[in-house]
Amino acid sequence: MSKKTSGAGVAGVLPSHLARMYQDDTSWLEVMATHTPVFFQGFAELCSGVLADGAIPARIKELILGVVFATQGNSEGAAIHIKNAYRAGVTVVEITEMIAASALSRGAGVYMEGYKALMAAGVEERSPKTSGASEAMGKAVTVAEIVEYFDDYYGQSLPHIRVLADGGYNNVLKGYFTMRTEILRDAVFPRKYKEFLFIAINAADMFSDGVRVHAKGALDCGGTKEEILDAMMVAIMAGGVACWFNVANIYEEL
């Protein structure tokens, strides 16, 4: 995707919404539209349907997709859609909160990948800088209290939590607890947007259990079935239609 073309060379070849979506690099789209025109028409319609304003605003879908691409190591895709979200009005603080949320789900590598995508997108700070720290920041919590929290949240004892607690990995458990409780609160974004992100990440990876947990979480904090479906649709852009087939039954269960 190194060659960049002007919008003038795209006219008549690309649908306007795709030209806008990938305005900084449309050369690959022109080639594919020329050589696979009928297939490309379907691709364009799918993209338009997934990323249009719906139950979830288009700017949030762009951000979610950008972060999902970051979890997959797709730096170019991440940068494109994070920049689109920024152009549509999403702030740097909002972007970094969603990147942090993805790190909870997919590890430290995504933290770095998300930052690189942010820099590659050329995003500049345009909102007041804030730590966004909750009032709970710095409050001491015991391992027993953390285990109780997870037992209550999931309604059952979780082996992976018990192993950390019983194995002496208290710092790991406390770090995870801090990350989780901080990101799953109404902060820069309401909690439900981060649940939608987790739904999309897990759907793209075809991790049904993760989708099910976060679909429930989204409903618990005021999300709707329509918004959950929108989040599942965003995953199609990163995981293909097969990822929707994999989680359609979860939507039906809601």
**Is 41 within a domain?**
yes
**Is 211 within a domain?**
yes
pLDDT of residue 132: 56
Q: For residue 18, give the H/E element and its range.
A: helix 16-21
86-123 burial, b at 16+ Cβ within 10 Å, e below that, comes to: beeebbebbbbbbbbbbbbbbeeebbebbeebbeebeb
CA distances from 144 to 118, 123, 137 (A): 38, 42, 19
Report pTM: 0.86
Q: One-letter amino acid identity for 5?
A: T
pLDDT of residue 210: 93
**Is 137 within a domain?**
no
pLDDT of residue 1: 39
Dump pLDDT digits (tens) for 196-212: 999 999 999 999 999 99
Are both 100 and 159 inside the same structural domain?
no
Are both 127 and 207 inside the same structural domain?
yes
Is residue 6 pLDDT above 80, yes or no? no
Dump pLDDT digits (tens) for 74-124: 988 999 999 999 999 999 999 999 999 999 999 989 989 999 999 988 887
Are both 172 and 82 inside the same structural domain?
no
Are both 81 and 112 inside the same structural domain?
yes
Helical spans, DSSP H, in 72-124 = 75-87, 92-106, 108-120
Residue 101 in contact with residue 189, Cβ under 8 Å?
no
Are both 151 and 108 inside the same structural domain?
no
DSSP state of 223: -
**Is 216 within a domain?**
yes
Dump pLDDT digits (tens) for 153-192: 888 888 989 999 999 999 999 999 999 999 999 999 999 9
Are both 168 and 213 inside the same structural domain?
no
**Is 136 within a domain?**
no
Residue 71 in contact with residue 201, Cβ under 8 Å?
yes
Dump pLDDT digits (tens) for 224-249: 999 999 999 999 999 999 999 999 99
Are both 161 and 171 inside the same structural domain?
yes
Are both 247 and 127 inside the same structural domain?
yes
Are both 122 and 210 inside the same structural domain?
yes
* CATH number reported for the structural domain that contains residue 62 in this entry: 1.20.1290.10
**Phi/psi at 32 (5° precision):** -70, -35
Full residue range of the structural domain in which residue 12 is found: 1-52
Q: What confidence category does residue 133 fall into, taking pLDDT thresholds of 50, 70 and 90?
A: low
pLDDT of residue 137: 56
Are both 47 and 172 inside the same structural domain?
no
Mean pLDDT of 113-140: 71
**Is 118 within a domain?**
yes
Are both 194 and 151 inside the same structural domain?
no
Are both 71 and 174 inside the same structural domain?
no
Q: Is residue 208 exposed (0-12), middle (13-18) or buried (19+ Cβ within 10 Å)? A: middle
CB atoms within 10 A of CB 219: 16
pLDDT of residue 10: 39
Number of domains in the chain: 3
